[in-house]
Structure 1
Amino acid sequence: VALAAPIRCMRPLLQGFRGWCTARGGVAAHSLPLLALRGGAAGADVSQLVLDATFYLGTAMASMAGTITAGSCEMDLFGCTIVGTLTAIGGGTIRDIILGRTVYWLTDTSHLTIALAVSVAIFLTWPALVSLGLRDSHLAFLWSDALGMASSCIVGTHIGYERTGKAKIAILCGVLTSIGGGIMRDLLCLERPRALHADRSMYATPALLGALLFVLLSGDKYYAAAEPTSPVPLPAGAEYFVPWLFCLLLRAAAWTFRLALPHWARKRQSIFDLRGSLSLEPQKPQFQVALTPAEGHNSIADRVGRLLLGPKQRRRFGLPQLLVPKGRRGRRKVPPPADEFD
């Protein structure tokens, strides 16, 4: 009788499972419903390995992209860490709240640790990256952002499909997971959200098509009671890798060939300047005050001018000083109104 040899199994990220599994006869026992549905054999191990690697890769790359954007906006260490972490976990948090499930990084804090560590590491190496010519539009940033987007899309679609068994909800979860963190990053950095504007290249469309391809390749394995089937015979893990690669390459083609969705032409000035960042510079009000004191210095216009403008304001606008009306020279002087412009 072969003794049971405990082996350390990979922690399934989607279920927050931690512990040990026992190998008997070369077949490992799995506690995940998805892996049990697939038979719990070596093919399931490969699929879970691909899914876990995609999950970790998406967290690290999204955190890197968020930190680079925050660093280019001259944020400090705390700001870069916050933006990088929100970029990594923001989309998944929105997805879990919509699905009514426990937020994934509360049960498995490894993703939060990875996001924080990558953000701090990128911030500390940012001066060296700048000296090498790294910018917001550099290929390193674009590839890291695309890797994070593609990985988040596949993981989000998998979770949505496993949770509901509905293709439309799964695609929606995949798109929200892939673009949610990026939208938070751009808004915090006062940038135009890349996923919502077509002036650069299409961003959300590769995620949408990648999620759709994942649903087509997955078949009915998420809601069938019997042995799952797929419309196309694929090796283990291909239903995750093929849509991920398709989403990544489509995003790369989008920024290479400037592919964008149709959009309306802008006919008036927007609050965003030509560089794509939000313009919040204070504008000096343009107005002109024309008050001419009437004869006697006790008319209605003179009284209104005395109430609205004090001595400093009248000197600033080049207006003559108002004289004290006749018959009131012996009275106590009333202090002028507070200068709200100073």
Structure 2
Amino acid sequence: MDNLLYWIGLVAVAVNALTGVLDAGRKRMDLVGAVMVGTATALGGGTVRDVLLDRTVFWISDQTYLLVAIATTLVVFFAVRGLKLPQRLFLIPDAIGLALFTVAGTQIALHWHAPWLVASLLGVTTGVVGGVLRDVLCNEVPLVFVRGELYASAAWAGALVLIGLQELAVSPVVAAWAGMAVILLARLLAMAFRITLPTYTERQ
């Protein structure tokens, strides 16, 4: 499981870095700006998680994560520079990154002996904070705060599925894949069919 978790983390870093560069590209940022946005998107959620767990920040203890983030931003920047891309293109890799990071964050929190509710919320934190940093740096309202399709709630559902399956003695690997599937499916369906949570309204 540890080996799978490591590779999930690396893929999540790469995918989130990609979303950061795509968003930075829409804002006409230069190379330095794109690298900063990409690395913040890729590493932000896991950094907050590790600080809250009082563990060594993952990309400090293993700089492979940092190298993957920087390399991905550079490759994507030069690969798509000059191309006209659909405005919502980054939403698909963003959904994938959300699923990967949420599962990785939840598993890490569980390994660090966090209670199940705390572990699930730390998984959500790992999944969404990078995107929040990306949107703030790109001068946009963070996607997770917009009154729109399921986002953090999809991540939380997947984290709870993972934890629930492991409590039922399901293999951690199977639980991880199931959690990722729930998050990705919920997010994609929400985007396709505009599925939202109820909003607070007042009587007139």
TM-score bracket, shorter-length normalisation: over 0.9
Match of 2:166 in 1: 218
1:136 aligned to which of 79, 82, 87: 87
- Matched with 2:38 is 84
Cα 1:79–1:213 change in 2 (3 A) is: same
The amino acid of 2:11's aligned partner reads L
Q: In the alignment, what sits opposite 1:257?
A: 193
Answer yes or no: is 1:188 the counterpart of 2:137: yes
Equivalent pair of 2:150/2:186 in contact (CA under 8 Å) = no
For residues 154 and 80 of structure 1, what CA distance do their matches in structure 2 show?
Answer: 26
Offset from partner CA, 1:215-246 (integer Å, 9 cap, x none): 10112xxxxxxxxxxx1545x62111111111
Structure 1 unmatched runs, 5+: 1-46, 220-230, 266-342
- Report the equivalent of 2:184: 248
AA aligned opposite 2:179: P
How many Å separate the matches in 1 of 2:79 and 2:144? Answer: 27
Q: Which residue of 2 aligns with 1:146?
A: 95
Alpha-carbon distance in 1 for matches of 2:65, 2:170: 33
- Cα deviation for residue 129 of structure 1 reads 3.8
Counterpart Cα distance in 2 of 1:129 and 1:242: 36
> 1:97, 1:233 → 2: CA distance?
29
- Kindly indicate which of the two structures has a greater share of residues assigned to helix: 2
* Greater gyration radius: 1
Give the letter aligned to residue 239 of structure 1: A
Secondary structure of 1:164's counterpart equals coil
> What does residue 207 of structure 1 align with?
155
Query: Within the alignment, does 1:56 sit opposite 2:5 as a pair?
Result: no
Q: Percent identity?
A: 34
| Aligned 1:24-39 pairs, distance under 5 A | none
| Structure 1 position 161 matched with structure 2 position 115 | no
What root-mean-square deviation, in Å, do the aligned CA atoms of Structure 1 and Structure 2 show?
1.7
Residue in 2 aligned with 1:119? 73
Q: Amino acid of the residue matched to residue 211 of structure 1? A: A
Question: Deviation of residue 262 (structure 1)?
Answer: 2.0
Amino acid at match of 1:253: L
Shift of 1:128: 5.1
What is the CA–CA distance in structure 1 between the aligned matches of 2:166 and 2:140, rounded to whole Å?
36
Unaligned 5+ segments in structure 2 are none
Deviation, 1:52, is 2.5
8 Å CA contact 1:48, 1:237 repeated in 2: no
Inter-partner Cα distance in structure 2 for 1:112 and 1:136? 27
Alignment partners' CA distance in 1, 2:46 and 2:156: 16
1:159 CA drift (Å): 1.1
Q: Is residue 171 of structure 1 aligned with residue 120 of structure 2?
A: yes
- State the distance in 1 between where 2:12 and 2:170 align: 27
Give me the TM-score of the superposition, normalised by structure 2.
Answer: 0.93
- 1:233 and 1:91 map into 2 onto residues whose CA distance is 27
Decide whether the 8 Å contact of 1:160 with 1:174 is kept in 2: yes
Distance 1:96 1:48 in 2: 17
Is 2:61 aligned against 1:107?
A: yes
Q: Which structure 1 residue ranges, 4+ long, deviate > 3 Å from structure 2?
A: none
Q: Deviations over 1:57-85 (max 9, x none)?
A: 11110000011001101111000000000
The letter of the residue matching 1:137 is: R
- CA contact under 8 A between 1:72 and 1:135: conserved in structure 2? no
